[in-house]
Amino acid sequence: MSQSRPLRVAIIGAGPSGFYAAESLAKDLENVSVDLFDRLPTPYGLVRFGVAPDHQKIKSVVKMYEKTAQRENVRFLGNVAFGRDITYTDVKKHYDAVIYTVGASSDRNLGIPGEELPGNMSATEFVAWYNGHPDYETHINKVDAEAVAVIGMGNVAVDVTRVLAKSVDELNTSDIADHALEVLKDSKVKDVYMIGRRGPAQAKFTTKEVRELGELLNADIVVDEAEMLIDEASLASIENDPTTKKNIEVLTGFSKKPLEGKDRRVNIRFLASPVEIMGEGKVEAIKLEKNRLEPSADYINAVGTGEYEVLPVQLVLRSVGYRGVALPEVSFDERRAVIPNDKGVVLDAPKGKPIGGEYVAGWIKRGPSGVIGTNKADSAETVEQLIALQGQSDLPEDNDKKPEVVLELLKTRGVPYITFDQWLKLDKLETEAGLAQGRPRVKLTNVKKMLEAVAD
């Protein structure tokens, strides 16, 4: 059915799931007009602020996002915060539908004593700092720890372990933030301990990522052969799991590798849970309880044995998963830290009723799991629902829903929004600065400086 005016859709959050949603809408709907908002001036979310600076290949996905943003019916509006610069009421008034794609910007605590001590922080913060997220520009001004505990066995834990173990020469070919490079130049790190509460067969990292830990110029890899014993239940659980089998092969190789006397050591430890962070006024050690594995019907649990070890460390990075944050006035499931939904259709409560015109995709829909590409199918599912519910209607003229009205509103409020062309200008400045130093880019890490750099 032909429409008298385009269906207006706001997407809140210009990370991978936002871009995939915009692409699906632009591709699958004949008459649509999409505004893709981000609270930061820069697009791409975790591709810019989450993916490790030495993993440039993964970042090449932005070439596809660039094409999406340059479609006629898609408009990027950066530096516009939902709830501050544009409210829930504005969005309901000026759009037919909204898709929330804000990811999971917070993290989970360990829930153990000593977490308030300086020197204990989340990997989320550490990653945001070294990737130049404007909120974390001045977050860390020295890394004087000789020993660091990284809690968790996922790919984020591997990323922070690798960045801490790499030499500055290895890092200064990446797009790591200049402020992080400056601090890490004087790093005193000798030992990084990556600590998993369960065994090698339950580690969440992928093979390519763990293999890289054995290829560092500046760090030996240490895995205790005794901790590589795989119990019967674990063996059975990985029978049809080639990734985990490969992981175990790689880890077993590490456990047999002789030390080469490099400056630093990456120590991978299994079957140990942190029970206390210890220290007088700052982190001085972490107390670990040795675990054994106990299988239940569909899960292999870690159970404490009552045997403890105190590991002297001066920095603790917990890497036990991201956590979604509620948006002002938007439905939220506190327990799962997601926006409650049915295949991307926002519900008023978990298992509740649909709220018309609201959708969700990405980590804030399903929780913080999966790689960038996982979001493509996830966003497509959401857009499919949106089209089924709203894609066919013949829309009456509505002055509030004219695309220029939103720009007028932002101007009236004095919001210095960033267009995609302005982002491309910033992108060029960063990549040119990078070229001069043999790096992919030198990031601007301050919103004020970004706005000055792109001012016409």
Question: Least distance in Å: CB of 123 to ligand NAP?
Answer: 7
* 269 part of the interface to ligand NAP, by CB under 6 A: no
Nearest residue to ligand NAP, by Cβ distance, number only: 154
Nearer to ligand NAP (CB atom), residue 187 or residue 202? 202
Nearer to ligand NAP (CB atom), residue 7 or residue 272? 272
Q: CB neighbours (10 Å) of residue 249?
A: 12
Nearer to ligand NAP (CB atom), residue 143 or residue 157? 157
Of residues 209, 220, 378, 430, which one binds ligand NAP by CB under 6 A? Answer: 209
Question: Least distance in Å: CB of 320 to ligand NAP?
Answer: 4
Question: Least distance in Å: CB of 148 to ligand NAP?
Answer: 16
Of residues 90, 125, 159, 378, which one binds ligand NAP by CB under 6 A? Answer: 159
* 365 part of the interface to ligand NAP, by CB under 6 A: no
Question: Least distance in Å: CB of 160 to ligand NAP?
Answer: 9
Backbone phi and psi for residue 72, each to the nearest 5 degrees, phi listed first: -60, -35
Nearer to ligand NAP (CB atom), residue 310 or residue 349? 310
Stretch that binds ligand NAP, among 130-138, 153-161, 231-239, 392-400 (CB under 6 A): 153-161
For residues 106 to 145, the per-residue mask of contacts with ligand NAP, x marking binding by CB under 6 A and - elsewhere, is ----x-----------------------------------
Question: Least distance in Å: CB of 313 to ligand NAP?
Answer: 15
Nearer to ligand NAP (CB atom), residue 65 or residue 322? 322
Of residues 229, 303, 371, 435, which one binds ligand NAP by CB under 6 A? Answer: 371
- Closest by CA position to 131, among listed 88, 90, 184: 184
* 97 part of the interface to ligand NAP, by CB under 6 A: no
Nearer to ligand NAP (CB atom), residue 94 or residue 198? 198
Interaction residues for ligand NAP, span 186-205 (CB under 6 A): 196-198, 202, 204
Of residues 368, 386, 391, 450, which one binds ligand NAP by CB under 6 A? Answer: 368
By CB under 6 A, the count of residues binding ligand NAP is 25
Of residues 131, 319, 341, 382, which one binds ligand NAP by CB under 6 A? Answer: 319
Interaction residues for ligand NAP, span 336-355 (CB under 6 A): none
**How many Å separate Cα 32 from the centre of its chain?**
29
Of residues 153, 251, 268, 271, which one binds ligand NAP by CB under 6 A? Answer: 153
* 151 part of the interface to ligand NAP, by CB under 6 A: yes
Question: Least distance in Å: CB of 399 to ligand NAP?
Answer: 43
Question: Least distance in Å: CB of 158 to ligand NAP?
Answer: 7
Interaction residues for ligand NAP, span 62-91 (CB under 6 A): none
Q: Do residues 134 and 447 make contact, with C-beta atoms less than 8 angstroms apart?
A: yes
Of residues 277, 320, 364, 383, which one binds ligand NAP by CB under 6 A? Answer: 320
Nearer to ligand NAP (CB atom), residue 105 or residue 202? 202
Stretch that binds ligand NAP, among 248-256, 307-315, 319-327, 384-392 (CB under 6 A): 319-327
- Burial of 414 (C-beta count, 10 Å sphere; 0-12/13-18/19+): exposed
Both tokens of 321, joined, read 């998963």
* 210 part of the interface to ligand NAP, by CB under 6 A: no
Nearer to ligand NAP (CB atom), residue 236 or residue 388? 236
Give the CA diameter of the chain.
73
Sign of CA pseudo-dihedral 308, 309, 313, 319: negative
Rounded to an integer, what distance in angstroms lies between the CA atom of residue 453 and that of residue 37? 20
Rounded to an integer, what distance in angstroms lies between the CA atom of residue 174 and that of residue 129? 15
* 104 part of the interface to ligand NAP, by CB under 6 A: no
Stretch that binds ligand NAP, among 155-163, 331-339, 390-398, 418-426 (CB under 6 A): 155-163
3-state SS of the chain?
CCCCCCEEEEEECCCHHHHHHHHHHHHHCCCEEEEEECCCCCCCCHHHHCCCCCCHHHHCCHHHHHHHHCCCCEEEEECCCECCCECHHHHHHHCCEEEECCCCCEECCCCCCCCCCCCEEEHHHHHHHHCCCHHHCCCCCCCCCCEEEEECCCHHHHHHHHHHHCCHHHHCCCCCCHHHHHHHHCCCCCEEEEECCCCHHHCCCCHHHHHHHHHCCCEEEEECHHHHCCCHHHHHHCCCCHHHHHHHHHHHHHHHCCCCCCCEEEEEECCEEEEEEECCCCCCEEEEEEEEEEECCCCEEEEEEEEEEEEECCEEEECCCEECCCCCCCCCECCCCECCEECCEEECCCCCCEEEEEEECCHHHHCCCCCCCHHHHHHHHHHHHHHHHHCCCCCCCCHHHCHHHHHHHHHHCCCCCECHHHHHHHHHHHHHHHHHCCCCCCCCCCHHHHHHHHCC
Give the binding site for ligand NAP (CB under 6 A).
110, 151-157, 159, 196-198, 202, 204, 206, 209, 273, 319-322, 368-371
